[in-house]
Amino acid sequence: MTFVEGPVTVTVPATSANLGPGYDSLGLALDLRDELTGEVISTSSTTGGRTLEVTVEGAGEGTVPLDESHLVVRSMRAAFEIIGKQPAGLRLHCHNRIPHARGMGSSSAAIVGGLVLARALVAGGELILDDDTLFQKAAEIEGHPDNVAPAFHGGFTIAGDDDGFFAVRTAVDPRVSVVVFVPATGVETKTARGLLPETVPHSDAAADAGRTALLVAALSDAPEHLHRATRDFLHQEYRRPAMPESLALVDELRADGIAAIVSGAGPTVLAFSSGVESAETTKLTARCPEGWACHALSVDMDGVRIL
């Protein structure tokens, strides 16, 4: 087995999971991409140990670790482990555009990007580590597949865990785009999950199942039903104490007939729109709260890709 010469660059999209009622199952890839460049280098360690050089610009710059604990590095090491050989030296540069701890899949992007990058640095890597094995490892590292599925496959995915992780990509109506409202401060996924109850009323579970099924249809070819389809019964209200401003914005937008949800574990708010350059999107971006960032984004249909 040999490593390729020179750097390899991989890009991977942001994602939004849950999409309202589809808790831990639905995910959508968004056209906001992190870019990872890796290269296998000769080690300069006199002890024969590994050499690692990590640089980061953009989101996480100055705060994320630059050593073996970096999530992209950990994911690359996991791929090399499956392939059967670790490089003596590794150089990694991350250009991050996906906000961290905002419910937009930054950790899934790091995991999927790191796994695909490592595979691409091995000559014939796809013959050793196929797509399904890579997806299984990505979901294992993340702990659930709802974000890694759209990061890997692109588009709109339905994912779960049933004797192994699975993901099915389904159609997205070309009229669908989104506006995301990103607060200045984040919420850790662990904190948001910790607010959820162990059980919910049967009536809420039944209502949520119906909205989830409707959401699949609405995103596929009936976006006029998105407002009704994005009504959540399982998680958003329980998380209000961790992100009161976000849920207040969701309430405000939904009262005006806009299909707005908390993106992933929050606190980013996502609102569905009818086109990145549409009048509807322009009106939505004008409602961005002071101090928040706002992005009009199309649905990313490519998923992770090698440049």
| Ligand-binding site membership of 103 (annotated) | yes
| Ligand-binding site membership of 100 (annotated) | yes
Sheet-wide strand order for 269-273: 260-262, 269-273, 177-182, 293-298
Greatest CA separation for the chain:
65
User: Residue-wise over 140-171: b if at least 16 C-beta within 10 A, else e?
Assistant: bbbebbbbbbbbbbbbbbbbbeeeebbbebee
| Ligand-binding site membership of 138 (annotated) | no
| Ligand-binding site membership of 95 (annotated) | no
**Which contacts (CB < 8 Å, 24+ apart) does range 123-128 have?**
123/1, 123/2, 123/3, 123/4, 124/1, 125/83, 128/1, 128/82, 128/83, 128/84
Place of tokens 């701890």: 101
Write the burial class of residue 294 (CB in 10 Å: 0-12 exposed, 13-18 middle, 19+ buried). middle
**DSSP string across 286-301:** TTPPTT-EEEEEEBP-
Report d(CA 230, CA 260) in Å as an integer. 7
| Ligand-binding site membership of 154 (annotated) | no
| Ligand-binding site membership of 25 (annotated) | no
| Ligand-binding site membership of 105 (annotated) | yes
Binding-site residues: 99-109
Binding-site residues for ATP: 99-109
